[in-house]
Each structure stands twice: as C-alpha cells, then as structure tokens.
Amino acid sequence: MEKVLYIANWKSNKSKSEGTLFFEELGRLIGSIDLSRQEIIIAPPFTFISDARKIVDQQKLPIKLSGQNVSSYPSGAYTGEINAGQLREYAEYVIIGHSERRKYLHESDSDIENKIREAQEVGLKVIQCVQDEKSLVHRGAQIIAYEPPSAIGSGNPDDPEHVEEVFRILKKQNPEITLIYGGSVSSDNIDSYKSIEGMGGFLIGGASLNANSFVSLLS
Ligand code: PGA
C-alpha cells in the first residue's frame, strides 16, 4: 500500500531562521508519529532548500523535500531560473503548475509540459496541480494535486463529496496516478477527506507553516 503524502507548500514564506526553527520543531514532534503509512514532504522556498537538505541528511529525518517550481529550460543562459538538475541535488519531488503560478506568473500548459519534461529527465517526481477534472494532465506527472482555485487560501475547502467525484473522473483517465487534494486543508476538516476512495494525500499551504499545526494533520 502506498503511503499517504502530506506535502507542505510553504509558498513565498519563511526566512532561513524561521525555516530552521520549523525543522527543529518538526524533528522533535516526528518521533511520536507512525510514518509507516505516511510520507512527509516539505516544499520550502529555493532560498532555504539547501539548508533543509543539510538538516534532513545530518539528522537523518524521515522527510522528503520538494521544489515549488522548476525552470522549463535546461541549464544555460536563463537568468534567474533554477533548472531541474540543480533542484535534483536537493529534492526528490517538484510541484508544477500551481494555480498561483498560472494566475500571477502567467504559466501556460506548454510551460507546464516543458517543466514536467525537464523534471522527468533528472528523476524528480512530479506533482502536477490541476484545477478541475477537465484540466490537462501531462504525461510524466506521477501525482495529481486537485486544487480548486476557490479553495486555495480561502478557508472554503471543496466538499468531500465533490472531491470524491473529481477523483473518480481523474482516476478513470489516469489510472496509474496518485491523487491528492489541496485547498484550505486544516485539522478541522482533514478527517472528512481521509476516507475518500483513492485519497493519496494532501497539498497543504497555510496549515503547513507551523510545525505543530502541520503535524496535527497526520494520523
Ligand atoms: P492552502 O494552500 O492550504 O493555504 O489553501 C494550498 C495550496 O495552495 O497548495
């Protein structure tokens, strides 16, 4: 049985000292959690990902790391971009196509396709975000995060019955892919999603910024 994924998407949050403190607290809390069927994945900003890698390796923490984005180009003259090979030195996963990137950075389906291709070439596991059951799922995505934009950061999560329905449709079209849900997941509502048929995990924004509140989401 595959582990249920708990992916902390920190977005553009946390300084180096705040990130370090989070890992100290998470390291302390993690000892009392049964991780045999749960996987913790942290997606910090790029400015902290090398420190995070060091902490995880030195303390042998059972935590995987993810990028929040990756360049659609290979290495070369692309000022400001972080390419898949660079990210792979630190992370096992990458989030691609988050709706905030579509909205604020005008990311297109073809950008997403190129990013997934780059990520795949270096062995990063791809978490592709989709907004609904009609969204294009690109070849190479191993995990689909269903995140309705109205649910993100709003305190208005999607109804569990609707998530189940969307999962059913996505699963039919992509039988091999792990499905996860994201959008205002909190300790108050997560239990109503855990029992959904085929629930592979969660992409968590706001509730992942504090180690205590993040850990309270796990079973
Ligand atoms: P939220 O963010 O949990 O703050 O709604 C989820 C996400 O955007 O990945």
Per-residue pLDDT tens digits for 107-160: 999 999 999 999 999 999 999 999 999 999 999 999 999 999 999 999 999 999
- Mapped onto helix, strand or coil, the DSSP state of residue 43 is strand
pLDDT in the model for residue 131: 97
Identify which of 100, 103, 143, 147 to mutate to test ligand 1's pocket (most ligand atoms within 8 A of the CB): 147
Residue nearest to atom 1 of ligand 1 (CA): 205
Asked whether residue 196 carries a pLDDT value surpassing 90, the answer given is yes
- 38 forms bridges with which residues in the sheet? 4
> Does 66 sit in the ligand 1 pocket, CB within 6 Å?
no
> Does 155 sit in the ligand 1 pocket, CB within 6 Å?
no
Residue nearest to atom 6 of ligand 1 (CA): 205
> Does 148 sit in the ligand 1 pocket, CB within 6 Å?
no
Asked whether residue 43 carries a pLDDT value surpassing 80, the answer given is yes
pLDDT in the model for residue 204: 98
pLDDT in the model for residue 219: 87
User: Average of pLDDT values for 177-192?
Assistant: 98
User: Average of pLDDT values for 189-214?
Assistant: 97
pLDDT in the model for residue 87: 98
User: Average of pLDDT values for 179-206?
Assistant: 97
| Three-point CA angle 12, 200, 62, nearest 5° | 65
113 alpha carbon to ligand 1 midpoint, in Å? 22
User: Average of pLDDT values for 60-72?
Assistant: 98
pLDDT in the model for residue 135: 95
User: Average of pLDDT values for 168-177?
Assistant: 95
Where on the phi/psi map is residue 129: left (φ > 0), alpha (ψ -120 to 50), or beta? Answer: beta
Identify which of 42, 184, 213 to mutate to test ligand 1's pocket (most ligand atoms within 8 A of the CB): 184
Q: How far apart are the first and last CA of the chain?
A: 16
Residue 76 banded pLDDT, cuts 50, 70, 90 = very high
Q: Which atom of ligand 1 is nearest to the CA of 184?
A: 5
Asked whether residue 187 carries a pLDDT value surpassing 90, the answer given is yes
Residue 49 banded pLDDT, cuts 50, 70, 90 = very high
* Percent of the chain topping pLDDT 90: 99
pLDDT in the model for residue 1: 72
pTM over cut 0.95? yes
User: What interhelical angle do 46-58 and 16-30 show, nearest 10?
Assistant: 30
Strands 63-67 and 38-43: parallel
The mean pLDDT of the chain is: 97
Q: Which residues are part of the catalytic machinery?
A: 98, 147
